[in-house]
Amino acid sequence: MNIDQYIATFPAGTQVLLQQLREAIAQAAPEAEETFNYAMPTFTWHGNLVHFAGYKQHIGFYPAPSGIQAFEKELSVYTSSKGAVQFPLDKPLPLALVKKIVKFRLNENFELAAAKNPFLKLSAPAQRALANKGIKTVKQLAKYSEADILELHGMGKASLPALHAALEAQGLSFK
């Protein structure tokens, strides 16, 4: 089942709300991919970003516990739990708030991914330059000099501070 098929299983009014929620999420996270996890529509970007689902009386929105906690005050008017919030079907969806929560989750997922991949904060061309050279870890990066790295197609001086920071974080330096 895909998201369009899922939404089509609901009454017309619920379909409208589900599509509005889907569009708001997509606008806030244009690079996220749509998929289907835990039997519900899901957006992923460096891991699960948010999920949503339709029910008889509400739309469920699942931005992870951190997304609920970070916006606890704004969400206090809705029924919620540790990782979910319920938007009633008889009221307009808080789409601006949903977008804020999705952007929060984008940042959170990016920070977690960047902790695992120190090159993630580089531009796409700089990331490709390192990948094309076979440099996947900071330890491998330390085998090269700054001059070697700057010679790579797609690598510029603007990348050096991030590379230095990644090296220093692991007690390393350029050759």
Q: Are 52 and 95 in contact (CB under 8 A)?
A: no
The pTM of this model reads 0.76
50 φ, ψ (degrees, to nearest 5): -150, 160
Q: By the 8 A CB rule, do 145 and 152 touch?
A: no
- Top-tier CATH class for 3-116: alpha beta
Q: Are 6 and 14 in contact (CB under 8 A)?
A: no
At 120-137, the pLDDT tens digits run: 778 889 999 999 999 988
Per residue in 68-125, pLDDT tens?
999 999 999 999 999 999 999 999 999 999 999 999 999 999 888 877 787 877 888 9
Count of C-beta atoms within a 10 Å radius of residue 102: 24
Spatial neighbors of 172 by CB under 8 A, at least 6 apart, are 138, 139, 141, 142
